Structure 1
Amino acid sequence: MPAAEPATSEDAIPAYIDVSKASVARVYDAFLNGKDNYEIDREVLRRIQQVAPEATQLGWDNREFLIRASRFIARQTGIKQYLDCGSGLPTAENTHQVVQRIEPESRIVYVDNDPVVMAHGRALLEENDQTHLIGADIFKPREVLENEVVRKTIDFSEPVALYQCGTIHHYSGDDYADIMQEYIDAIPSGSFVAVSHFYDPENEDSPLARKLEEVFLHSPMGSGWFRTREQILSMMPGLELVEPGLVLCANWWPDGPHVKPLAPIQRCIVGAVGRKP
């Protein structure tokens, strides 16, 4: 979807949208130069840019990782059903557009609980009967997995592609690995899982990661945890990671060589794709 001027006045805010707190989906939209965000969401971006001027690369690296992972799964695995958790607002290349271009019969269920996502997403998908959007809490696996649309659309006796891209780092509990374990237990052998997550590399970039975390947590959004490699790998229990494993999102099968050094903030988000044996 082409970018347009963001909403600027209270008059433009529908009654069902709470702008007393920033929305994860709308903040990501601001990071991607989208049009479906409000002043409180842009405030989060501005605060992050004070720490890292190239802050928008977090959003772009996450999105481009998802696109490349989707192309890989659609072309290489034979999977034709996708459960995309925390899908966010529509952008230029959504999961269904990427995979259905390669495998037109692919079925996708997006999961989100942001009212702006629900309104825009359902409008976007009206003419695509292979793609659905449900409202559910992605941090409550049973709520997602037992949803009527999910059960009707996805055959859990066949391999599934499960996405948690840019999502779990907004969960503050210590049981994040348990949440992922429940999802992974529910999908059959041969399924693939894609995860991206804010990253504390525990090296010279660690102070930046911790500063970014502090800004996110004390911003109007109130979430954004930068976890370590060990913590992130614990979210993919028992999976066989596709080469090159858990790496910076920018380094997961890039479309071409890097001709300039990565910005420091790009070294603070990682991604991986794993296969369930």
Structure 2
Amino acid sequence: MSDHDPQLAAADIRARIDTSKPHSARFWNYFVGGKDNYQVDRDTGEQIKDIFPGLVDVARTSRQFLGRAVRHLAGEQGVRQFLDIGTGLPTADNTHEVAQRTAPDSRIVYVDNDPMVLAHARALLTSTPEGKTAYLDADLYSPDDILKAAADTLDFSQPVALIILNTLGHVADHEEARRLVSRLMAGLPSGSYLVISDSTATSDGMIAASNAYNESGAIPYHVRPVEQIAGFFDGLEIVEPGVVPVTEWRADADSAYDGPAVDAYGAVARKP
């Protein structure tokens, strides 16, 4: 077999998947009704739901926020390029599907460094004939490498929407997280956009759920106060209605939500 044999590649990917501990992408996939998860993820998910049932709403409404943000950018702002970091496992209405449904010539680069996400990359690597979709096996902590590799698919002389959803909590230090976001945005031209949503430390239930998840053996995830989420957008022009609960960001009939307040905030902002 050659070095490029797909069977060898698949075996290497499987060897990197740890099924003894929960993982955020698989855990989140379980919460949004996906099937790409293991028993350890489901067990942890049920434990967390017992502590804080509202996390299910956070997962589902955050996904709806993504769809509305992408539709707004592709449909109303004319954005045709998207850099989605922390892709997670594919479910319904992935970034490329939403963007290309609105604008078939959209180009999307997904970035993740999780082996199970890599194993499912083929599900993401679909595209309209007019557009393009690519996947990078890369790390958020290497923003320059991400930008360099994404340039094979995206034209950085034209606006790009940088999407980072439910990912920055893996960066324990807030200033480090801000530095990473700033470095990525620095590599994008004027007229680009930043889209972020994340779980927030806005209720005792969410904080307890976060603590329980971090004690499960998974890579820790740190929920932040709303003002720290807002800090990621410093120097950018915030799109109305600002940094708000994800359920309140340009809600439409398809995503109307009448449940309890969700502990997740998001926003969209433009680089001047």
TM-score for both structures, normalised by structure 2: 0.88
1:217 aligns with 2:214: yes
Q: CA deviation at 1:127?
A: 6.0
Structure 2 match to 1:142: 144
**Mapped contact 2:140–2:180 kept (Cα < 8 A):** no
Alpha-carbon contact 1:30-1:42 (below 8 Å) kept: yes
Matched, 1:72 2:67: no
C-alpha distance in structure 1 between counterparts of 2:155 and 2:255, whole Å:
39
The aligned counterpart of 2:192 is 191
Normalised to the residue count of structure 1, the TM-score between the two structures is 0.86
Question: 1:221 & 1:185 partners in 2: Cα distance?
Answer: 31
Q: Where in structure 2 are the equivalents of 1:45-60 lying within 5 Å? A: 45-60=45-60
Q: CA RMSD in A?
A: 2.0
Residues 244-270 of structure 1: CA distance to partner in whole angstroms, max 9, x if unpaired? 100001111111399874325x1x111
Q: Which runs of 5+ in 2 are unaligned?
A: 1-12
The equivalent of 1:6 in structure 2 is none
Change over 3 Å in CA distance of 1:156–1:224 after alignment to 2: same
- What aligned pairs does 1:106-255 form with structure 2 within 5 A after superposition? 106-125=106-125, 130-147=132-149, 150-174=150-174, 175-201=176-202, 205=203, 207-255=204-252
1:34-88 residue CA offsets vs partner (Å, 9 max, x unmatched): 1110011112211211112243112101111000100000011111111000111
Task: Decide which moves more: 88-97 or 208-217.
Answer: 208-217
What per-residue deviation string (whole Å, max 9, x for no partner) do you get for residues 77-112 of structure 1? Answer: 111111000111111111111010111000000001
Q: How many residues align?
A: 257
Determine helix, strand or coil for the equivalent of 2:82: strand
Q: Distance in 2 between matches of 1:188 and 1:218?
A: 41
Structure 1: 5+ residue stretches without partners? 1-12
CA deviations 1:160-212 (Å, max 9, x no partner) are 010001110122134111111111111111111100011123xxx3x223212
Structure 1 residue 117, shift from structure 2 partner: 1.1
Do 1:45 and 1:55's aligned partners in 2 also have CA atoms closer than 8 Å? no
Matched, 1:275 2:270: yes
Contact 1:196 1:249 in 2 (8 A): yes
Structure 1 pair 270–87 and aligned structure 2 pair: CA distance change class (3 A): same
Q: Distance in 2 between matches of 1:208 and 1:127?
A: 40
User: Structure 1's 228 and 54: CA in aligned 2 closer, same or farther, altered over 3 A?
Assistant: closer
Q: Percent identity?
A: 39
- The question of whether the paired residues in 2 share the 8 Å contact of 1:40 and 1:220 is answered with no
